[in-house]
């Protein structure tokens, strides 16, 4: 809070919040193009409940006059063929399903409505029991759009397109249980050479995933900073670092055996000695449809963590 905010009365701050809420709702209606009635549904193919709910939602949303397409979240190529022009996509599954949906939807600026059929569901908005009654509200443009920062990872030594991650980019050892050395440079300045099982570069969204399991801090989901967290560091820096949102991280791998580049724990690329990975903020954001403002983050966080145990 700045000095100007401190001089405002509680009523001024309330009005400011109300204006922001109005703006966000208007932004939602603009971003999701109210006149567009094309809605997509992505479901987790291994969950029978997700398949069933997908067909139920297809009927409910279709009865509202929308054009609805349905696809497995594992069939990304097929989903990309159908997603163009969609107003938003409904994602049925857990956080892993949303990570897949983000790769499809984010480059096109299409929002995601997450419905939790998984175990935790940090990123989802609705429970499965509420889906049939609450999804129609979003079709009618109730709610707002939350934007989540993503990462871009470029394998400098190879001629392949960059990867984009909502949760994290991980450089780690391969199948052999032997540490690797990773030379870490931030904005051209050498940080250190880690001797570890791996390094996690995470977004605020990813701070409740692998980074948290490795002992990293939790960031508010609207934070734009990045996290750098080593995995099982041996006689080297083990503390997690919070980096500027504008930071560029270069990781150079030194190993006598195969290492791995992992994108959101779903895409894996084998790495060799001397490979360099450049990681920075992605030009894309993941847009999430939300009902409540402000988001009840801290109480929800504790409820989700207790559910994990």
Q: What are the residue numbers of the active site?
A: 95
Closest CA to 169 of 219, 121, 209, 135: 209
State how far the Cα of 285 lies from the Cα of 108, in Å rounded to an integer. Answer: 10
Contact assessment for residue 90 and residue 58, using Cβ atoms and an 8 Å cutoff: no
Half-sphere exposure (CA, 13 Å, Cβ side) for 301?
A: 15
For the chain, the first-to-last Cα distance in angstroms comes to 35
Neighbours of 291 (CB within 10 A): 15
Contact assessment for residue 246 and residue 230, using Cβ atoms and an 8 Å cutoff: no
State how far the Cα of 172 lies from the Cα of 251, in Å rounded to an integer. Answer: 11
Element (H, E) at 276: strand 276-290
For residue 24 the two structure tokens come to 């966000």
Contacts of 102 by beta carbon, 8 Å cutoff, 6+ apart: 112, 150, 166, 264, 286
Task: For 171-182, give one letter per residue: b (16+ CB within 10 A) or e.
Answer: bbbeeeeebbbb
Helices (H), the chain: 3-6, 10-31, 48-62, 76-83, 95-105, 131-139, 210-213, 297-308
State how far the Cα of 30 lies from the Cα of 9, in Å rounded to an integer. Answer: 32
């Amino acid at each position: 809070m700045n000095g100007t905010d401190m001089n405002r009365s509680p009523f001024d701050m309330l009005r400011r919040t109300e204006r922001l809420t109005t703006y966000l709702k208007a932004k939602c209606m603009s971003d999701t193009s109210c006149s567009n009635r094309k809605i997509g549904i992505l479901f987790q193919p291994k969950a029978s409940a997700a398949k069933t709910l997908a067909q139920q939602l297809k009927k409910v949303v279709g009865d509202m006059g929308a054009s609805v397409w349905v696809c497995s979240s594992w069939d990304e190529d097929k989903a990309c063929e159908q997603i163009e022009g969609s107003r938003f996509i409904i994602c049925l599954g857990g956080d892993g399903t949303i990570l897949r949906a983000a790769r499809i939807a984010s480059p096109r600026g299409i929002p995601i409505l997450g419905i939790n059929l998984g175990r935790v569901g940090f990123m989802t908005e609705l429970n499965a029991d509420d889906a049939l009654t609450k999804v129609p509200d979003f079709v009618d443009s109730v709610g707002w759009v939350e934007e989540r920062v993503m990462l871009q990872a470029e394998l400098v030594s190879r001629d392949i397109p960059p990867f984009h991650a909502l949760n994290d980019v991980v450089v780690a050892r391969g199948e052999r249980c032997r540490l690797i050395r990773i030379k870490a440079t931030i904005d051209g300045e050498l940080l250190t050479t880690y001797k570890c099982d791996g390094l996690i570069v995470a977004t605020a969204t990813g701070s409740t995933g692998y980074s948290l399991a490795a002992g990293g801090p939790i960031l508010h989901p609207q934070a734009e900073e990045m996290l750098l967290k080593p995995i099982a560091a041996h006689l080297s820096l083990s503390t997690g670092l919070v980096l500027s949102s504008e930071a560029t991280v270069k990781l150079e791998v030194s190993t006598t055996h195969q290492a791995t580049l992992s994108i959101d724990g779903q895409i894996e690329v084998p790495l060799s000695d001397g490979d360099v990975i450049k990681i920075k903020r992605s030009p894309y954001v993941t847009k999430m449809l939300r009902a409540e403002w402000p988001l009840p983050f801290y109480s929800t966080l504790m409820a989700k963590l207790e559910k994990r145990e």
